[in-house]
Structure 1
Amino acid sequence: MADPQRTSEPVNFVHQDEIWKAHLKAEQVSAKAWPNKWGLLQEVYRECERQSVKLKEAEREKHHHLAVRPPTPPKENTHLGPPPPFPQTSQAVVGWRLGHSHLQLQKYAPVRHFRRSLMKEMDWPFGSCS
């Protein structure tokens, strides 16, 4: 890596141009020589692709039952009964669902996030890390 405090040296544009020409010539020579050296791989690659397409089609046919089905209309699938009676309480609206376990929003348990302290868990004095 270059030293950041060092002043930039003058650029030799002719030298950089000669390097670029050498790269282009090497690329052209290798592009001309490629079919003679590696052209046999083209047919092998095409054959592999054909086999891959056939295998994918066979796999799709084997697992056609996993294909995405069209959505069913909501009227056929939904069976809702009448809601439970609305209780007459002083709160009226607030909290009437809490009495029914199947209508509660918290399905498993309420989420609790307590503040924990690494110092307390490790039994370190509170001033030890600053």
Structure 2
Amino acid sequence: MADSQRTSEPLNFVHQDEIWKAHIKAEKDSAKVWPSKWGFLTEVYKEHERESVKLKEKSRVEPPRHHASRPLTPPEKQEQVGPSPPVPQTTQGFIGWRSAHPHLQLEKYGMVHHGRRSFLKELDWPLNACI
């Protein structure tokens, strides 16, 4: 690639052809020698394929019932989404406008009650230790 961009030096086409012939000869020679050096890999691969086909045939069993797909939920039992309230006119009213309505709140199942914990109290350190 870099040789084709050089325009100051003339190309020696005969030399390039000889290099190409040497590459082709090396490819052909290595293709002849490959079965004697690496031919055992083909047998190992064929054995592996046969074993994997046997294992696939053995493993073809029915999945347990708890892995089967569930039937679709009928539309009348699905969660119903009501219409949204009108969009407020101001940006101040836009903040939290949907959560102001009880039927649109995210906490459907009640407030989350986790106790507040302090890392310092867990380590029995004084509260002003990290100031």
TM-score (norm 2): 0.47
Identify the structure with bigger relative contact order (alpha carbons < 8 Å, sequence gap 6+): 2
TM-score (norm 1): 0.47
